[in-house]
Structure 1
């Protein structure tokens, strides 16, 4: 999906509301614990659970195999789960840490198809 507006900001549009600003256009409420948005809207029965599904496509428009797509989603999702090895994180940025974990995980996929090899490299690096 492409989103276009004649203003800067994409789908989110901050507008003045009283003495503050609110963001119009947000779609998701991520997490319940210590989440101000969740606390404000939980009693209005407007929250719906969504599956974390996404599709990947090659530049020619062909869809990436569902199995590989699911493997990539799980790899990306697991990057943000603490691995308990705090020493590796010292001295590198969060971005470097994430890219390092992603590269290590995709090496374990042992892909033989050149298109699959190329798509896994461009998704997160």
Structure 2
């Protein structure tokens, strides 16, 4: 077996790190370990929302809609992603939050992968 290859299922693997599949939080030596980038498989039921705004952001983020309807809240602006493939990118220093207007599946890529940005999940949420 080649230790530099990992084969998995995003739906199953995502539960380990609240949706995050790749980033600094994976063990060094695991092909999913990266200090350069993080990737998330976000499955959000209708009405799901971020518990609190992310502030003091030091990373750049791309959020891509796979299915559903997903709203991203940015300072002074709401962006609604409602067509498969719609995406939004925001840079360092941009606070944000989000809300699933319908059952939604989103792929998030953010960089770099920095420890210390975990927000506590509300009870019953991953």
TM-score norm. by structure 1 comes to 0.21
Larger radius of gyration: 1
TM-score norm. by structure 2 comes to 0.21
Greater relative contact order structure (CA < 8 Å, 6+ sep):
2
Structure that is richer in strand per residue = 2
Structure that is richer in helix per residue = 1
